[in-house]
């Protein structure tokens, strides 16, 4: 639900001391403690490329003896902020960055401290600006309509029109991809006849009609609600209207949110009434006061419900916290019984940091098990609180089935001497590998899953045995750092492999694409993207001509299909099947469609633009 452009690294603020100066600098180790005196010791680091990521800046600082500094950077900025806990640390970092260059440009570092008063004034200014913009736009919308536009921006369209909009978004991304490929293959038409083929929409692949979501209302199995104040100043559990960065801090109930399930709405309302009677305030992100922060409800298709309540412990004694937990537990157990839902897991997280969302702080399970289950594709999956699970189970089932059908078609249509190993990259709780292994039988020889989230990997291991899949291996860590899982297939005897890459919105690191290209055992793979626009660069790198940076035989796209997991919202999942592009003989003139044939292919191709 959150929408933040600013990528913020919220890890602890501490500096590794490399010399005697540093050893005098005593660093705190917890990000969660507020800076002394309400001052944020901030450095503005200028002269950096816009594309520099938080990680790149962190690595640069670490290389210069400053480790784990909190960095804020938006992809649009040619600067970033580094926040330190004390003035000493600030001066230390400033000193260390003197004369340091990034991409041949010397960094410009200046102190840009923020006091609590400044921060609140900025918040108020943005809030006023936002209100003025709304007034000036002349569009009179109720707060409920504004919230609906924000969380389900396509809600005003009929479902068919929503699908058409999403399909045209996919076409646009694929056209951008196609145009870029044409540029890259400009003088190498003999390697890219696939770009000349005209499929539907003049795209160089078959784009199938969108697969609809079988459920249009209340489909989300996970909702993150904020505890805050509504427009009347009453404690409310629901969605934040607008974004905090715009100075907005109002929370509205999810009653009219079409994608929220009935059970999640009921739970939000019940916890709201509980909080309204509580002596403790909701957490105010402007003043950083208050206790009730966030309520996450996971309500699975199979009936399992998990509730996670996040509380800021400030001002509360241990006795008060214990009493609150016990009262909450009784309240929610009774409520679940009365409303007849299956409360499987009630979890509390105490979190005193300033960032929003789920933190790394521990969870305490007050009731039931620290996980729930979901059922799909004839399988049962355990899901831990931090593990990713597709938010629309019924539509995710269609997504996985489609991937299964693609693999089935590939391996049944050709005479493959042996079944491939399925490499499930970014496997979450192991859903795709396990579901396909179980449903495709001997077509899949075994599964290797790679995933960043430790809890998800633990779930995946349990899920494999829950579903009787034994030929599995799970690797914990970022895919880009575990590429041995692919390179080990370069051995002649290691057999064949098929990969499914299902990364988060930004796509995968380019080293993953390079490794896929270099992996001799992979002839086909499937890329599932939940942000086709952001994935274009990955698609380009998958198919670009071979060079020193991108070795290996390039792939070409074969077919694509959108699967709508998010009715009323803008996102859509896009599946693209890629296969190795083994053409290396010059294409025949007769292969060139008429629109290109008029150009002089024989004239060395240098002017020939595909």
Q: Minimum distance between the CB of residue 480 and ligand SAM, rounded to whole angstroms?
A: 6
Q: Which residues are annotated as a binding site for S-adenosyl-L-methionine?
A: 390, 451, 502
Is 302 among the residues known to form the active site?
no
Residue closer to ligand SAM, measured from CB, 203 or 526: 526
Q: Minimum distance between the CB of residue 384 and ligand SAM, rounded to whole angstroms?
A: 11
Tell me, residue by residue from 461 to 480, as one string, x for binding to ligand SAM by CB under 6 A and - for no binding: -----------------xxx
Q: How many CB atoms lie within 10 A of CB 517?
A: 21
274 binds ligand SAM (CB under 6 A): no
Residue closer to ligand SAM, measured from CB, 93 or 398: 398
SS3 of residue 195 by DSSP: helix
**Residue in 431, 467, 529, 538 binding ligand SAM, rule: CB under 6 A:** 431
Q: Which two tokens stand for residue 128?
A: 């006023």
Tell me, residue by residue from 515 to 544, as one string, x for binding to ligand SAM by CB under 6 A and - for no binding: ---------------x--------------
Element (H, E) at 55: helix 54-63
Tell me which residue has its CB nearest to ligand SAM.
428
Q: How many CB atoms lie within 10 A of CB 3?
A: 10
**Residue in 31, 374, 459, 502 binding ligand SAM, rule: CB under 6 A:** 502
The Cα 228–Cα 291 span in angstroms is: 10
Active-site position among 66, 427, 530, 543: 530
Residue closer to ligand SAM, measured from CB, 348 or 425: 425
Residue closer to ligand SAM, measured from CB, 429 or 496: 429
Residue closer to ligand SAM, measured from CB, 311 or 450: 450
* Window of 33-41, 226-234, 275-283, 423-431 that interacts with ligand SAM by CB under 6 A: 423-431
How many residues form the binding site for ligand SAM (CB under 6 A)?
A: 20
**Subset of residues 432 to 461 that bind ligand SAM, contact rule: CB under 6 A:** 432, 450-453, 456
SS3 of residue 384 by DSSP: coil
426 binds ligand SAM (CB under 6 A): yes
Q: Minimum distance between the CB of residue 431 and ligand SAM, rounded to whole angstroms?
A: 4
428 binds ligand SAM (CB under 6 A): yes
Q: Treating both helix axes as pointing N-terminal to C-terminal, what angle do 454-466 and 431-440 enclose, rounded to 10 degrees? A: 20
Residue closer to ligand SAM, measured from CB, 274 or 578: 578
390 binds ligand SAM (CB under 6 A): yes
The Cα 159–Cα 346 span in angstroms is: 35
**Residue in 388, 411, 489, 566 binding ligand SAM, rule: CB under 6 A:** 388
Give me the DSSP letters along 471-491.
Answer: SEEEEES-GGG-THHHHGGGS
* Window of 57-65, 170-178, 427-435, 547-555 that interacts with ligand SAM by CB under 6 A: 427-435
Closest CA to 522 of 441, 410, 403, 405: 410
* Window of 114-122, 230-238, 243-251, 425-433 that interacts with ligand SAM by CB under 6 A: 425-433
511 binds ligand SAM (CB under 6 A): no
The Cα 173–Cα 183 span in angstroms is: 16
**3-state helix/strand/coil string of 285-308:** CCCCECCEEEEEEEECCCCEEEEE
Residue closer to ligand SAM, measured from CB, 15 or 407: 407
The Cα 500–Cα 578 span in angstroms is: 10
Closest CA to 404 of 376, 430, 440: 440
427 binds ligand SAM (CB under 6 A): yes
504 binds ligand SAM (CB under 6 A): yes
Q: Which two tokens stand for residue 55?
A: 């990680």
Q: Which two tokens stand for residue 319?
A: 């006795």
What is the number of alpha carbons within 13 Å of residue 120 lying toward its C-beta?
A: 10
Q: Minimum distance between the CB of residue 512 and ligand SAM, rounded to whole angstroms?
A: 8
50, 77 contact by CB (below 8 A): yes
Element (H, E) at 161: helix 159-184
| Neighbouring-strand partners of residue 381 | 374
Q: Minimum distance between the CB of residue 398 and ligand SAM, rounded to whole angstroms?
A: 12
Q: Minimum distance between the CB of residue 133 and ligand SAM, rounded to whole angstroms?
A: 34
Residue closer to ligand SAM, measured from CB, 82 or 436: 436
Query: Who contacts 182 (Cβ-Cβ below 8 Å, separation ≥6)?
Result: 195, 609, 610
Q: Which residues are annotated as a binding site?
A: 390, 451, 502
Query: Who contacts 484 (Cβ-Cβ below 8 Å, separation ≥6)?
Result: none
155, 141 contact by CB (below 8 A): no
Phi, psi of 367 (to 5 degrees): -155, 145
Active site residues: 530
Contact positions toward ligand SAM, by CB under 6 A? Answer: 388-390, 426-428, 431-432, 450-453, 456, 478-480, 502-504, 530
């Amino acid at each position: 639900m959150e929408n933040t452009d600013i990528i913020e690294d919220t890890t602890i603020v501490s500096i590794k001391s490399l010399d005697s100066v540093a050893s005098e600098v005593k660093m705190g180790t917890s990000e969660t403690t507020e800076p002394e005196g309400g001052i944020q010791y901030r450095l503005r680091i200028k002269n950096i490329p816009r594309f520099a990521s938080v990680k790149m800046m962190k690595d640069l600082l670490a290389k210069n003896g400053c480790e784990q500094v909190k960095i804020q950077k938006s992809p649009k900025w040619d600067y970033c902020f580094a926040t330190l806990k004390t003035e000493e640390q600030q001066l230390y970092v400033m000193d260390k960055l003197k004369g340091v260059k990034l991409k041949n440009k010397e960094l410009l570092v200046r102190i840009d401290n923020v006091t609590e008063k400044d921060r609140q004034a900025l918040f108020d200014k943005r809030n006023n600006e936002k209100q003025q913009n709304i007034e000036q736009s002349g569009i009179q919308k109720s707060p409920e309509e504004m919230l609906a536009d924000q969380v389900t921006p396509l809600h005003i369209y009929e479902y068919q029109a929503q699908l058409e909009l999403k399909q045209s978004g996919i076409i646009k991304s694929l056209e951008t991809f196609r145009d870029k490929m044409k540029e890259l293959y400009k003088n190498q038409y003999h390697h890219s006849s696939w770009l000349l083929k005209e499929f539907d929409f003049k795209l160089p692949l078959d784009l199938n009609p969108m697969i609809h979501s079988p459920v249009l209302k209340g489909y989300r199995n996970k909702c993150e609600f904020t505890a805050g104040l509504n427009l009347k100043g009453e404690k409310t559990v629901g969605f934040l209207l607008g974004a905090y960065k715009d100075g907005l801090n109002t929370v509205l109930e999810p009653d009219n949110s079409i994608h929220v399930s009935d059970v999640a709405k009921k739970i939000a309302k019940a916890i709201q009434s509980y909080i309204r009677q509580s002596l403790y305030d909701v957490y105010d992100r402007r003043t950083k006061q208050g206790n009730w922060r966030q309520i996450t409800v996971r309500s699975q298709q199979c009936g399992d419900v998990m509730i996670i309540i996040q509380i800021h412990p400030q001002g509360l004694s241990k006795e008060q916290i214990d009493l609150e937990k016990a009262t909450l537990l009784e309240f929610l157990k009774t409520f679940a019984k009365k409303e007849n839902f299956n409360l499987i897991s009630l979890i509390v997280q105490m979190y005193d940091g300033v960032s929003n969302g789920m933190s790394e702080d521990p969870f305490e399970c007050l009731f039931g098990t620290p996980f729930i289950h979901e059922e799909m594709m004839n399988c049962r999956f355990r899901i831990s609180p931090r593990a990713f699970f597709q938010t629309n189970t019924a539509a995710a089932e269609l997504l996985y089935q489609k991937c299964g059908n693609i693999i089935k078609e590939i391996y049944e249509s050709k005479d493959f001497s042996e079944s491939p190993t399925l490499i499930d990259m970014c496997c979450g709780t192991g859903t795709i590998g396990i579901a396909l292994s179980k449903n495709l039988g001997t077509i899949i020889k075994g599964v290797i899953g790679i995933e960043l989230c430790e809890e998800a990997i633990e779930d995946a291991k349990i899920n494999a045995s829950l579903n009787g899949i034994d030929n599995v291996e799970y690797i914990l860590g970022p895919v880009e750092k575990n590429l041995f899982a692919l390179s080990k297939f370069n051995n002649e005897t290691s057999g064949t492999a098929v990969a499914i890459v299902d990364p988060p919105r930004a796509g995968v690191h380019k080293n993953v694409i390079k490794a896929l290209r270099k992996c001799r055992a992979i002839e086909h793979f499937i890329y599932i993207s939940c942000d086709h626009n952001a994935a274009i660069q990955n698609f380009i790198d998958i198919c670009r001509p071979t060079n020193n940076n991108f070795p290996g035989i390039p792939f070409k796209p074969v077919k694509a299909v959108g699967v709508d997991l998010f009715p009323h919202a803008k996102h859509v999942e896009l599946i693209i099947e890629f296969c190795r592009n083994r053409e290396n003989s010059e294409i025949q003139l007769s292969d060139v469609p008429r629109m290109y044939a008029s150009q002089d292919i024989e004239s060395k191709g240098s002017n020939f633009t595909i």
